A and B are shown apart, each in its own frame.
Chain A
């Protein structure tokens, strides 16, 4: 599989791998995908009281482009407001990483992970 240098760089040096305490009220967690499909992404965002994403961490089980997509997303969301983060599209990820067509589902998964984390944040806030 011919991956771009950007994908290879993210796979070899993944950014922001790790986890936050998911019970921390300022932490939003989004987990998407399924082991049977070959990829699971867990994205965690640390969000300030005024809705700014201060930090992000991920863990991913999946192929190289799944790891690269989630690693890239953690870089992109930092410093954004949640509504700005919600606007990140899978096509932006595909373009940035130059993903081959068979790997587009990985970028969709990364977009879904952001959305899932934001949903988790809103649910937590409404409690």
Chain B
């Protein structure tokens, strides 16, 4: 077993060696380096063929038509293209109101903020304490001038799965366009875009063992979803996203999606077993441990836990042999704890004490066991050092203490 142990698969994943091999074949003089847009020679035709195959493999994982796949630089660009592109297109006829959720990724939230500056009105929905939307509240927020609803499929910090089936129905009934950020869900949750009433869906390659710098936006054909291009140029990707197609990146994404489809069942089963082992190992040894999100409606790969009375950054330092993320503000330059955890109504103490473990294809049982052992001893040590733990053990209710805040 090699240290440190990588348990941050929701941040990014290593490229599958089979994927890397395929990518390398598309770079050098001896390889498939041509411009897929070159129509006049074999170099171009071969590259185009490789891109077509990749587009087919990407579409197959999500049961879409290859012609519905617009290749981009990643999920951030896909989110920008879908939200700005659709908002601008549909605002001309229908209105200028958009609905999204407070726990969305910054690529969605910040894009919506930009649209607000351009004169759109945005409703940011609260979530319930389990991280999920109350669909009745969402229905109440929908208006005649609502043009777009944007909801992520799987939350990156919590792993909770939103009910995009029902939300899709609600939007379609009201003729509102529906965008879904699927960066964390592809390959982890079954996605059938022939059935789902989703108009736009963003995808990323590097979350499922493909390369960084490549993603896709699904744009529905029937009924047709429209958007205004945000990147202008040679008219690539049916005019929706110009720029020379990066054959090696696209081939890498295609191969990663193909493998994800092939290993869908086995990955899910393995990761679920490892998750169970991790959770049981922590719960059997430690008290005052709280789950963030809802384990019943989550992807198995993401486990977000608060260890009460232990601050997140100090815990990360104590367990430096495992690579995980913390919701504590202290891990970043901002002094606010995770906005996602705050949106659940978690108090700031628990938000500061949270750790996200994300398990992936290459995680082993041995690594999980090592993680449990290290956590149990580190948390014991940090709690011995924590004045809050001491007060808790003395039976003092921390909510009654008057803190000298700063």
Contacts and interface: CB of A to CB of B under 8 A. Distances in A.
A32 B403 CA distance: 7
A38 B404 contact: no
A42 interface: yes
B328 A17 contact: no
Contact of B390 (A14, A36, A39, A59): A59
Interface in A1-21: 1, 8, 11, 14, 17, 19
Contact of B352 (A8, A35, A60, A109): A35
Contacts of B333: 102
Report, as a range, how many residues of chain B touch the other chain: 20 to 34
B374 interface: no
A19 B406 CA distance: 24
B347 interface: yes
Interface in A62-107: 62-64, 66-67, 102, 105
A118 interface: no
A117 interface: no
Given A34-B406, A35-B352, A63-B330, A41 B387 contact: yes
Given A31-B387, A40-B387, A41-B387, A63 B406 contact: no
B403 A34 contact: yes
A102 to B, nearest CB: 6
Interface of A: 1, 8, 11, 14, 17, 19, 31-42, 59-64, 66-67, 102, 105, 108-109, 112, 116
27 contacts: A1-B313, A1-B331, A11-B317, A14-B385, A17-B385, A31-B404, A33-B404, A34-B405, A34-B406, A35-B388, A35-B403, A36-B348, A36-B349, A37-B405, A38-B337, A38-B348, A40-B388, A40-B403, A42-B390, A60-B385, A60-B387, A61-B386, A63-B312, A63-B330, A64-B314, A64-B317, A67-B385
